[in-house]
Amino acid sequence: MANEHLVGPEDDAATESWRRIIAAAAALFAALLLIALIVLVSRSNQERDEALALERSSHEVMMATGGFGQALAQSEAALGRFIISGDQGVATIYYDEWVRAGRLLDRLNARARYYPAQGPLLEELQLLFRKRGEELSDAAQRANYRRNWQALSSYYQAGKLDTGPRIAVLLRKITANERALLSERSKAAAASIERSNRLVRILSIIGLFIVTGAILLGWTAISAIRQRHLARRLVERESARAETLQTAVADRTRELEAANIALREEAATRIAAEAQLRQAQKMEAVGQLTGGIAHDFNNMLAVVVGGLDLARRRLTQETEVVQRHLDNAMEGATRAAELTRRLLAFARAEPLLPEQIDLGELIKGMSSLLDRSLGEIVRIETDIEPGLWQVHCDRSQVENAILNLAVNARDAMPEGGVLRIAASNQTLADGEAGEAAAGRYVRIRVTDEGCGIAPQVLERVFEPFFTTKEVGKGTGLGLSQIFGFARQSGGDVTIDSTVGIGTTVSLYLPRRAEALTVVEDATPRQPSGPAPIPDEEAILVVEDDRRVRMSTIAALEELGYRTIACESGEEAIVILARRRDIRLIVTDIVMPGMSGTDLVATVAPLYPHVGVLFVTGYTGDAGGADKLAGYQVLRKPFTIARLSAAVNAALSRPVGTLISGSSPARRAEAAE
């Protein structure tokens, strides 16, 4: 009982306290012992690494020594071959090997010059290397100047000197010294490795004991930790529930933010699309309005030009004043006609005269014209890509577009500068360049170093009659004409400009692999008078405008032709069915009801002997270049001389010729 009384709660507390103190002391001792062993192992590993590094250094010195001797020998051998053959490639080998020998010598100095046994040898080796270079340089220079016999003699004398053998002796000494150092370093490295491995084994044994003790201590701590986990589990459940709720709220917030961003982007895209649509609708409306105005204006000009030409021809009293007034009126009408042609080009209603064109040759051929037009203050640079694709478009429109862009660039550089004209092949995706469809194009890029165009002005540069030039220096139709021509040709035009840096205009013209029938223009260079036709044959004039019809008839009668007039395509078909004396049809294109192209498509298979001459001021929706292909086209307004030449050409090519030998499309239409 007495012994049981001695072992009480106080004794248990004291025993537990002593156990904790002993455990803490043991843990501290083990930790200190472990730290000491780790320090020893670390120092041993460091010594081992240093010994291995020295061993590697010895290997590198021996390799560099051998490489130096080899490079030196190969350099001298290459010099000998160069002296004999004169081959510059062999001379390059001599120089490269000599440079490599110098680099290897520098590596030897960096690795071994600090060792007492190697330092003096390396200094002597450097002196001998430089001396050997001086001995061989004379032979190399003589060989370089093609003095081969002198170079061979100098090379032979250099070979008899003792510099080379002395270098070889030094290399052998350096190698022998390094082998001795390598043996000592290998022994030191082996000893360091053995010592490091022994310490690692001791450290592993102590670590095993420490791990065992930690397991025992951990086992006693598990019970206490388990109680804590039971107490924390409820708190963790509540925390997890709160975190889940917070995560859900955060996810929902991100979804709302993403939806908001998507809505803003969609709104911005919609605004941009609506702006583009409004711009396209505006340009389309302006184009339709321009075409209608130009059509009526051309009809009026046809009457004016025809009347003036007839009056000038029949002027009995050719006084100077009357002749001057008539010439001024004719000049004004001609300028107005040019204005309408620009309007029609913008409206894409001008009948194009396409042909197969090499744009590289076209740009080169315009060099003299551009030089005269731009003056000496502008320097022109051209960059034509080799293998440039050919295009099928109106040559005069292309030349006019390049000239317009060049003049605009000159006006943007009043102090002079460089104008760059480049042509290259481009493969575009949908929407990559304006509204051009995906496909292959040739891009003409005109770049200046001028003042640039402000962003608010850049949006309007293709609008007709909009110009930033002073009054009287521009009509505002240059870029709009290029815009209409590019779109009508199946391409597009884009413009990039930065204020103070310059402007680049890119004209995209589609590549055409197959040549189409060229639309011919009856623009005479040297009219030779009207072609005679028998008196019993006549010319059928189809024109809905009475004044233009009367003017055209008067001009034809002035040329000596007999005419028959009608005002619609339907009436012309009736007349052709009733009469057999019609030799030529002169028809307008845009007419109420049946258009001129529809009329010709109807009568061509029926009357193959009758020629056709289209007279037009505006094609509108009556047909493009494919419907006019192979026929003569005379633009309103026209002079009697131009009319005479057009009639001559049309009479020489009746419809039957076009049906049998023009384009595949025309033959298919005739067959139908």
- pLDDT tens for 152-181 read 888 878 778 888 888 888 888 888 888 888
Q: H or E segment at 389?
A: none
For the stretch 177-204, pLDDT in tens is: 888 887 887 887 778 787 777 777 787 7
Using CA atoms, how far apart are residues 609 and 613, in angstroms rounded to an integer?
13
Q: Residue 538's closest CA among 571, 577, 586?
A: 586
Quote the number of domains for the chain. Answer: 3
Same domain assignment for residues 536 and 417: no
* Domain final residue pick, 173, 198, 223: 198
In eight-state DSSP terms, residue 386 is T
In a domain, 168, yes or no: yes
Same domain assignment for residues 423 and 542: no
Q: Residue 288's closest CA among 346, 353, 351, 338?
A: 346
Same domain assignment for residues 495 and 579: no
Predicted model pTM = 0.38
Q: What is the pLDDT of residue 459?
A: 73
Handedness of CA 94, 96, 98, 101 (dihedral sign): negative
The three-point CA angle 87-100-149 to 5° equals 30
* Domain final residue pick, 178, 198, 218: 198
Residue 171, C-beta contacts closer than 8 angstroms, at least 6 positions apart: 65, 68, 69, 125
Using CA atoms, how far apart are residues 628 and 517, in angstroms rounded to an integer?
9
Q: What is the pLDDT of residue 636?
A: 82
CA within 13 Å, CB half, 305: 25
For the stretch 200-249, pLDDT in tens is: 778 778 777 777 776 876 777 676 677 777 767 877 888 888 888 888 88
Residue 103, C-beta contacts closer than 8 angstroms, at least 6 positions apart: none
Same domain assignment for residues 525 and 639: yes
Q: Residue 538 phi/psi, 5° resolution?
A: -135, 170
Using CA atoms, how far apart are residues 545 and 549, in angstroms rounded to an integer?
6
- Confirm if 326 and 574 have CB atoms less than 8 A apart: no
Using CA atoms, how far apart are residues 191 and 203, in angstroms rounded to an integer?
18
Q: Give residue 465's Cα distance to chain centre.
A: 32
In a domain, 270, yes or no: no
Q: What is the pLDDT of residue 432?
A: 85
Domain that holds residue 100: 16-198
Domain CATH number, residue 550: 3.40.50.2300
Same domain assignment for residues 34 and 150: yes
Same domain assignment for residues 172 and 30: yes
Domain CATH number, residue 420: 3.30.565.10
Q: In what order do the strands lie in the sheet with 582-588?
A: 520-521, 632-635, 611-616, 582-588, 538-542, 563-566
Q: What is the pLDDT of residue 576?
A: 94
* Domain final residue pick, 181, 198, 215: 198
Beta strands 439-447 and 417-428 are antiparallel
Q: Give residue 396's Cα distance to chain centre.
A: 28
In a domain, 139, yes or no: yes
Q: What is the pLDDT of residue 2?
A: 43
Using CA atoms, how far apart are residues 255 and 287, in angstroms rounded to an integer?
47
Residue bearing tokens 């002796």: 169
Residue 292 reports pLDDT greater than 60: no
For the stretch 39-69, pLDDT in tens is: 877 776 777 777 777 777 778 787 888 888 8
Averaged pLDDT for residues 315-320? 57
Residue 157, C-beta contacts closer than 8 angstroms, at least 6 positions apart: none
The three-point CA angle 128-132-138 to 5° equals 155
